[in-house]
Chains A and B, each alone.
Chain A
């Protein structure tokens, strides 16, 4: 499984994301000879416990994430960030969760956009939108390097490519930048060989960051 970095757009202080930024980012990928290939889409849902009135909320996780990825549409990933747990299951697990009625999905987000090919790299640029309101919540970018599946071995080449990308983007006056956050995969029990569970953990990590950013803007 090729290595992948999942990046998110961090707006400068006092700014928010907007569709103009997304358009500029997409143009920038094309300006460095990225060949547009097609659309992609991932989804992320927040599951929250259904509790009886007398329940102590501390008894249960406040929420956890359910993620579907375009590489394996028949699989589904659960991430409990606090407990450092990532679970891979068949997509039918969503039906099982519905039937149990102990946790419900409260917020669901789509990550969708276009995919580009750039030599051995595959780039995906996408908007983060709420399924309910379609409002733009953020911008994400996936950077995949096909020849390598070892997280450690890929670090140098991924870092170099990220620098080139940042430089290309810096030529446009955009109010923010892409951030790469590296989760501690070992804490989740994941090895250095890249899997889709690594991707799910990265999505959970950027989600946390995007929520923190949204909250700081609101405050």
Chain B
């Protein structure tokens, strides 16, 4: 286990490091997480108007955020940022995450099926994701709908993407249901890696580090011969946290704050905003590995 200052510290006990432009600082940043207590309060979003594109509107007042009228409290949202890391540095990232999160990692093996509506169904085309968790003794199925993201000047001020997202666990025949309803398989992916789940400042954060593979055979999840990595040598890192119309600002701040801890190894940004690998990754990984080598793992 990575030890910081002789004892493993949880993220909620420590303060965010200052973002450092060079490696020397990055290294000290990794270790400096032990020093200061976290009482950092972020400047609230003060945009007057945010828009979530799938028929929901958020109005946010100045100062303390308030959401009005058109968005129902039932609307589920998530805050999300993504980044990439070279596979050779994943072990270092895992060590860092283990130390920061204070919880064991969970293995991840998910079959993702992305379905789209046939042309004549619905006034607009729609997309649905069917996920099958292959790590469970019996494959567990989930239906996920990812909606529009928050837009507007206020959304631009937040460094994480806020979007609507609804999930529902379902019985194993849910794929057949959507086929019968007029949805067709667009593509399918196998996602393999690991995840950490933990709480930070009221946010329930999940970090996943995984690689995506395309399937050469329909539903070919069994054999590695049946799938090809989408980006060989690169793994996707995703930080997500469920939120609601009432608390998304605080959740976004928590996610954003967490991302700073990972800065020497990778840069996380809104999905679709590619920032590539960070130049400090190799040195930061080396220092983390040597650091972990000298401690009791």
A-to-B contact residues, CB < 8 Å: 49-52, 54-56, 59-61, 64, 78, 80, 83, 85-93, 95-96, 99-103, 189, 197
Contact = CB atoms under 8 A, between A and B. Distances in A.
By size class, the interface of chain B is 20 to 34
A88 B171 contact: yes
Contacts of B182: 49, 59-60, 102
A189 B169 CA distance: 19
Given A85-B177, A85-B180, A93-B168, A51 B76 contact: no
Given A78-B177, A87-B177, A100 B170 contact: no
B54 A93 contact: no
A102 B182 CA distance: 9
A189 B181 contact: no
B138 interface: no
19 contacts: A52-B120, A56-B120, A59-B121, A59-B182, A60-B182, A87-B173, A87-B174, A88-B171, A89-B171, A89-B174, A91-B168, A93-B143, A95-B74, A99-B145, A99-B147, A99-B166, A100-B122, A100-B145, A101-B122
Interface stretch (B123-131, B198-206, B218-226, B288-296): B123-131
B41 interface: no
Contact of A102 (B74, B174, B181): B181
Q: Is the interface of A mostly helix, strand, loop or mixed?
A: mixed
A200 B32 CA distance: 58
B169 A87 contact: no
B283 interface: no
A100 to B, nearest CB: 4
Contacts, number: 94
A102 B178 CA distance: 11
B117 interface: yes
B120 A102 contact: no
Nearest to B146: A99
A54 B168 contact: no
Contacts of B124: 101
Nearest to A56: B120
B176 interface: yes
Interface string B196-239: 00000000000000000000000000000000000000000000
Interface in B138-164: 143, 145, 147, 164
Given A52-B123, A96-B145, A102-B121, 8 more contacts: A49-B181, A49-B182, A51-B120, A52-B121, A85-B177, A86-B173, A99-B166, A102-B182
Contact of B123 (A91, A101, A189): A101
